[in-house]
Structure 1
């Protein structure tokens, strides 16, 4: 149980609903910031403004998956008001206060470091990323069906990267009957791709491999689908970029060539917010229980 814990949930999307629900179930007290337009009322959660809460009582702050933007603004779909997270604000919390986010950027890393507060990044955890790859792939399948006039079965599908998302994408598209080629840099990844019964290739050979690609799915968060690569693709190729913003595709050149290229980060929150929220809620609950236990032992 999380009895006695005071948690501030700041902004976010429908995934946060599942997180709030789970933490209330575990008896935590919740302050909801940026939820004025949320019609759902939770017993055990209070809607507040960021300047109204007593930060000295806050044991943890839960940010949306994206954290903040580069100026410290926190996105929320449940409020029109801008919410700003600052170093000064974090310094008002107790020293043990932990900040939970999906990912980080220079701004968020910098203010948590300066305020000397612990920052936990949920998407750097293998368990979260692997569970999240399931709704990501379902969303990818949905997008491919919407934006093509051919079946996935029998299509030449090129997957870039064999990380936690890439592996699930490659396996599921192969199970749907696609002819899957997977590009990687590391020799052990090439071996794993071959072991999976898929066609492996080194990323340096990408231009040759995409010459007959129907679908190209990128999971690598830096520029790999360059103008030169896109120039070798057939005109009907669909590019879906699952890497975090700004993706790994030259979208400007794709548009110039008339090739459809879609940036699709945060697919779990779009296609399956309930499942994606439950994944995060379960991990957050475990982390907070461990944290509470440690603090009790130290006292």
Structure 2
């Protein structure tokens, strides 16, 4: 079996090494695509203009590529891609996204939380211990982040819209609040996991300029970063943290997922 890997970040390189260790034939040459039974197209795969970020360069994927695929080829991306999903029905290949799988998302959240901790330890003058940490959102990543920062004895506040989660959050030792009542006046570190803007200029005006902002959400992000930077905040967008921290383990996770799907080929 031949597997194509688009190593558009460090995780892809780890996947190639892990697959070779497990006895699979691996290529990163686009010309080999027609011979592959499995294809990893990278973080997002192609867009609706058929553009693909391939090993740091952008190429155009033409219709001929899909028609030449091996029957029932498996194509995988990290993030779900509706366009690839539609193409799979048109051309007969199987399509999966790592972050559609619950178990993968849970493990990815652990790596994300560890990456945030690593970043804060190496970029702040003060410890996490007894810092006032605000976490916006309480999904997969938010839950793990809250748990880990509570364990490090930070004072954790969680901003959400669903009041039904307040009791669960309080059980962790964190303090929940509704996003409409966000008060950042005592915040040392703001961690956003919500992919829509919830931290507006008026909210930032309440906060001390010493507050560090880490936004791990996807575009359009959760913070008005232009305004934050203009006011002197240390405002950082940190996408795809597992591709930078613990990418070796992330690569193994991806390889395990791919091996499981190959059982059906």
- What is the TM-score when the length of structure 2 is the normalising length? 0.90
Task: Select which of 41, 44, 51 maps to 1:63.
Answer: 41
2:73 pairs, out of 70, 91, 97, with 97
Query: Is residue 76 of structure 1 aligned with residue 55 of structure 2?
Result: yes
The residue aligned with 2:238 is 264
Q: Which runs of 4+ in 1 moved over 6 A?
A: none
Is the Cα contact below 8 Å between 2:4 and 2:40 reproduced in 1?
yes
Contact 1:87 1:115 in 2 (8 A): no
* RMSD (CA atoms): 2.2
CA distance in 1, matches of 2:251, 2:209: 38
Q: Does 1:278 align with 2:256?
A: no
Counterpart Cα distance in 2 of 1:59 and 1:118: 10
Structure 2 runs not aligned, ≥5 long: none
- Local SS of the residue matching 2:223: coil
Q: How does 1:136-147 map to 2 (within 5 A)?
A: 136-147=112-123
Cα distance in 2 for residues equivalent to 1:270 and 1:226: 28
Residue among 20, 23, 41 paired with 2:19? 23
Give the conservation status (yes or no) of the 8 Å contact 2:150–2:172. Answer: no
Secondary structure at 1:180 match in 2: strand
Distance 2:48 2:117 in 1: 31
Aligned residues of 2:150 and 2:173 also touching (Cα < 8 A):
no
Tell me how far 1:171 sits from its aligned partner. 0.9
Give CA deviations for 1:227-258 in whole Å, capped at 9, x if unaligned: 22212211111110011234221111101111
TM-score of the superposed pair, with normalisation by structure 1: 0.80
Question: Cα offset for 1:9?
Answer: 1.6
- Tell me which residue corresponds to 1:47: none
CA distance in 2, matches of 1:233, 1:276: 35
Q: Deviations over 1:64-92 (max 9, x none)?
A: 12334564222425xxx544334431222
| Most deviating of 101-110 and 169-178 | 101-110
Deviation at 1:131, TM superposition (A): 1.0
Equivalent position of 2:174 in the other structure? 198
**1:102-141 paired onto structure 2 within 5 Å:** 102-105=78-81, 107-141=83-117
Alignment match of 1:247 (pick from 221, 225, 236): 221
Q: Given the alignment, which residue of 179, 194, 218 partners 1:220?
A: 194
Q: Which consecutive residues of structure 1, in runs of 5 or more, have no partner in the other structure? A: 34-49, 293-299
The within-5 A match list for 1:28-47 is: 28-33=24-29
Q: What is the number of equivalent residue pairs in this alignment?
A: 264
Asked if the contact 2:132–2:186 (Cα under 8 Å) also holds between the matched residues in 1, the reply is: yes
Secondary structure, in 3 states, of the residue corresponding to 1:253?
helix
In structure 2, distance between residues paired with 1:245 and 1:75 = 21
Say which SS state the counterpart of residue 262 (structure 1) adopts.
strand
Of the candidates 147, 152, 161, which is equivalent to residue 176 of structure 1?
A: 152
What are the superposed Cα offsets for residues 100-129 of structure 1, whole Å, 9 maximum, x if unpaired? Answer: 000144654454454343321101212112
